[in-house]
Amino acid sequence: MLSSIRPSSPGTTAGSARRPDGRRFSTWSPACVRPPAGGAPTRRPARPPAIDGNQPLTTLSKNVVFNLVGQGLVLALSFIAVRYIFRLLGADVFGIIYFNITLAALLTTVLELGISATTVREVSQYFDVERAYVTRLIQTFSLVYWALGAVILVVVFAGAPLLVRYWINLTTIDAETAANMIRILSIGTMVALPRALYTSLFRGRQRMAINNTIDVGIAAIQQIGILLVLQLGGGVFAVALSISAVMFAGVLIYMVIAARMFGPLSLVPRFDAAVIRRNLRFTALMASNSLLSLVHSSVDRVVVSKLLAISEFGFYGFASATVGRALFVTAAITQAAYPSFSTLSRTDRPALNIQYRKVQDLVTYVTVPLFAGIVFAALPLYTYIFNASVAQRLLLPTAFLCLGFALNSASTPALTLSLAVGRPQIFVQSNVVALFVTQPLHVPLRDPSRLPAVPGDVALALVWGGCQAVWTGRSGVRAGLGRDRSGRRVLADRVGRELHPGLSSLRGRCVPPGG
């Protein structure tokens, strides 16, 4: 069949052959080489596969789109009922609802224990190769989260009167009504941890269309339910009950779909010590990182909730939540990238390098104009929802919030990379030191007479961020990307990361007591 074969170059065996249709094709073989004189045949090393940085982004791109659309719709839907709650039920009721949202976020972060990030990482890496292990992992983490949810319910239900008496400053409603509202809303707080676990399962499988569809549906039903209750003349308790009922129903939907994907047996809570031992170090470091991030980013809201009236805290909490929701762009991209990073960290580090660079560029170029636009849109938005006086008071806090969150967003891809390669200690160690450098700046910033000291505090945070960037960025590059030029990018990320704690301390000072 072969009509002619001739070597094409010294040291190789190659040639051409004719197909039945008369066309020629090459028979060059990269593995066959001419042996040296008097020596044994040798074999050329196989060529490494070409690195395609675009191929891994196929699934990633879809998940980014799903996250952006889904979380963007949730953000838009969250504004529907705010105007009516504020105007029909009063500022105190509005403040209590957002106080509960803050309380749920704080408790979830404190008790999250790093399980969500661990679940995404383990499911993305081992679902196809160790299915039994993944089942045991889901069972163990389900037991932990549902038990913690029950503890949250009991503690909040029993401690609501004390919380209202010693922490919340009421102006228009009585303490008993406020305590009962917090008790009803605690049902939604209880299911926050299990919901985070089931969301992590879908993210680990890179099926983020599922959880985003559920979230959008829950948000739409919740807002419609609030409007119906208000139109039918329902009071504060009916509104609180509708919010909690929709949250609980959403978790049930998550459970049904997760049971179809992972099997009903995987959702049965069961403790497995081997799972704990296998993930203890990574989970403990993630829990430490979550707690430190909570301290850096939430101290302002805790202080404001204590010093100001609950109505003022409601305004500030709404502004903080609104700007924070803009982080859905960063979260959408990095949450979609995290399971992909985790998979590539085990199989293809060069492709991981390419994918990280694209994710970092996308986050940076999208978030900077986004937060700048929020500052310009804040005044008309707040005027429509509240009134012109409240809008003017919230403008400066919103500007500071946007600056802090923009700097924080720039560092998120580097943090995601360090988690994917199993090195969360890179950021934990840096945040521990920053805790004793940036947090003391909160004290002078609470005193109105010390306002001129703010530029010096920010400069100190900048210097500290630059020093920490040298060490942390070097560690992150070696852990995630090896000795690569992208280290300069990680160093820049680190500066933004360390700036955020210092700048976030400006938030609580910007809302004057009593308006």
Mean pLDDT of the chain: 71
Identify the three-state secondary structure at position 329: helix
Predicted confidence at residue 22, as pLDDT, reads 53
The secondary structure of the chain in percent helix, strand, coil, rounded to multiples of 5, reads 75, 0, 20
- Please, are residues 394 and 316 in contact by the beta-carbon 8 Å criterion? yes
Predicted confidence at residue 123, as pLDDT, reads 87
Q: Whole-angstrom Cα distance, residue 308 to residue 313?
A: 6
Q: Which residues of the chain have pLDDT under 70?
A: 1-57, 293-313, 430, 434-435, 437-515
- What secondary structure does DSSP assign to 471-510, as a single string? HHHHHHHHHHT-S-TTHHHHHHHHHHHHHHHHHHTTTGGG
The DSSP bridge pattern shows strands 16-18 and 24-26 to be: antiparallel
Give this prediction's pTM. 0.62
Sequence-ordered list of residues with C-beta below 8 angstroms from that of 234, at least 6 positions apart, any chain: 242
Residue 371 is which amino acid?
F
Q: From the CB of residue 514, how many other CB atoms can be counted at a distance below 10 Å? A: 8
In the chain, the percentage of residues whose pLDDT exceeds 70 is 67
Residue with tokens 């891994």: 56
Q: Which tens digit of pLDDT belongs to each residue from 63-117? A: 778 877 887 788 777 777 777 777 777 777 777 887 777 777 777 777 777 788 8
Please name the residue ranges forming H helices in 263-327: 273-307, 310-325
Distances (CA, A) of 22 to 28, 138, 364: 18, 60, 56
Predicted confidence at residue 253, as pLDDT, reads 92
Predicted confidence at residue 305, as pLDDT, reads 61
Distances (CA, A) of 86 to 90, 118, 236, 379, 449: 5, 39, 11, 17, 33
Q: Which tens digit of pLDDT belongs to each residue from 314-352? A: 777 777 777 877 777 887 788 778 887 877 777 777 777
Predicted confidence at residue 450, as pLDDT, reads 37
Q: Whole-angstrom Cα distance, residue 361 to residue 103?
A: 34
- What secondary structure does DSSP assign to 174-199, as a single string? -HHHHHHHHHHHHHHHHTHHHHHHHH
- Please, are residues 140 and 119 in contact by the beta-carbon 8 Å criterion? no
Identify the three-state secondary structure at position 445: helix
Predicted confidence at residue 512, as pLDDT, reads 37
Q: Whole-angstrom Cα distance, residue 407 to residue 424?
A: 20
Sequence-ordered list of residues with C-beta below 8 angstroms from that of 162, at least 6 positions apart, any chain: none
